[in-house]
Amino acid sequence: MLLQKSLQCYGREALTHIFSSKSMSVTTFIAKRYMQAGRDNRFFSWISVLTIAGVAIGVAAMIVVWSVINGFESELRRRFLEANAHIMAYRFPHGISNGDHWIEDINKDFKNVVTGVSLFVHYETMARKDSILHGVLVRGTDPKMRESVQSLAPITRPKGAIDILQQEISDAATGKAPPELPSVIIGSGLLSLLSAKVGDTIELVEPTKESLAAMKPFKVVGVYDSGLKHYDNKLVLMSLPTAQRFFNMGKKVTGLEIGLEKPWDSPKIAEQMSAKYTLSIKEWQSFNRPLFEAMQMERVVILLITGLIAGVAGFNILTTIFVAVSQRQRDISILKALGATNRQVLTLFIKQGVYIGIIGGLIGMVLAMAISAILERYQFVD
């Protein structure tokens, strides 16, 4: 019997004195002993083991699920911020004819929050490679200007592809004739859809007033890989002067890309710009608002599910304590006879539940770290 061992360890008089002095050392000792298997409590010990396993699985599930969700959202936002300016100001379809003036005004009016402003041209057309035809989004940009907004180098390959577009801009500024075969960087998904590769020539449908569409050739010098399929499957990146010539825009641009010191302040800054300027203003979180709203709803659902998991784990611990109380009626009577108060008896079983929770939680954390390491190493989901 457990209490017989306790009596041998402490002695009857010592136990009576300890209980009468309201010491908690004996309750701790007995609670720990109740966690161990013995001839008279093997059934209860198995219940404890199963409860610890349930708590461990619940803790591991909560940690892994929230780690995956938070990691997914963080990675998605990082990709959006790499692919998009924090704020876009545009006037579509007529365009902006005095882009440099707008850059000067924005930098002056919002100098404490804006990191830079870049001009861009943005239109839709069709791309063709041999017999394959696909709809594309053409984006004309100035890589050097856009560096102050968001660098394109991390999401383009090979290294130096962006420099080729920048060289075309430098040549245009010095009055050199435009190249017969202008350069483009196309999305990684579009590259596969067109069965093309770096160095190949693709054709874009050139805007014309004539009934027959004209095709203009371009050389693929690089690949755009943002990790966002709706960009990678459609985007064609070219230098700003090349895009202006291709769409017959003269010196006009579609709009401006604006970078911020703190991207999370974009809704507030965009609202201030909308009130101040006669331009259409859109901030990066509104580009894919339905997706972000769906992710927020997903977090609520997962919170409810993990809450249920935690509730089940807590209920298992509570059930284990009730079983312990029902099986230890004789021990409780002996403890009361030795001078234990109701509070000390209650504390004994509460400590047992706490030990189960701590052990299960620690095992669950180790299990969660192991699962997370496996997920990170083997990349089951791209």
DSSP per residue over 262-329, as a string? SGGGHHHHHHHHHHHSSSEEEEHHHHTHHHHHHHHHHHHHHHHHHHHHHHHHHHHHHHHHHHHHHHTH
63 and 121 both lie in a single domain: no
Q: Do 146 and 259 share a domain, yes or no?
A: yes
In a domain, residue 264? The reply is yes
Same domain, 175 and 260: yes
Same domain membership, residue 253 and residue 122: yes
Residues 248, 256 contacting (CB under 8 angstroms): no
DSSP 8-state secondary structure symbol assigned to residue 211:
S
In this structure, the answer to whether residues 160 and 210 fall within a common structural domain is yes
Please check whether residues 266 and 323 belong to one and the same domain.
Answer: no
Give CA–CA dist 270/284, Å, rounded: 10
- What amino acid occupies position 118? S
Q: Quick one: 207 and 340 in the same domain?
A: no
85 in any annotated domain: no
Which pLDDT score, from 0 to 100, does residue 38 have? 52
Whether residue 212 is contained in a domain is answered as yes
Asked whether residue 134 is assigned to any structural domain, the reply reads yes
Q: Percentages helix, strand, coil for the chain, rounded to the nearest 5?
A: 60, 20, 25
363 in a structural domain:
yes
Q: Kindly state whether residues 141 and 264 are assigned to the same domain.
A: yes
What pLDDT is recorded for position 167? 92
Residues 66 and 171 in one domain: no
Q: Could you tell me if 257 and 364 lie in one domain?
A: no
From 253, 278, 303, the end of a domain falls on: 278
The pLDDT tens digits for 197-220 are 999 999 999 887 665 578 899 999
Is the distance from CB of 34 to CB of 352 less than 8 angstroms?
Answer: yes
Q: Does residue 224 contact residue 204 with C-beta atoms inside 8 Å?
A: no
For residues 138 and 125, the answer to whether their CB atoms sit within 8 Å is: yes
Cα 54 to Cα 191: distance, rounded to the nearest angstrom = 49
Q: 259 is in which domain, residue-wise?
A: 92-278
Residues in the chain: 382
Crossing angle of helices 342-378 and 25-34, in 10° steps, is 50
pTM over 0.85: no
| Residue 8, in any domain of the structure | yes
Low pLDDT (below 50) residues in the chain = 1-5, 7-8, 10-12, 14-15, 17-24, 37, 43
Q: Is residue 244 part of a domain?
A: yes
Provide the domain count of the chain. 2
Q: What pLDDT is recorded for position 2?
A: 46
> What's residue 347's pLDDT?
80
Q: How far apart, in whole angstroms, are the C-alpha atoms of residue 219 and residue 209?
A: 25
Residues 134 and 265 placed together within one structural domain of the fold: yes
Task: Select from 278, 304, 339 the last residue of a domain.
Answer: 278
Same domain, 100 and 238: yes
Query: Is residue 287 in a domain?
Result: no
**Angle 45-50-51 from CA coordinates, rounded to 5°:** 95
Query: What pLDDT, on the 0 to 100 scale, is given for residue 11?
Result: 47
Residue that terminates a domain, selected from 245, 278, 311? 278
What was the pLDDT predicted at 3? Answer: 47
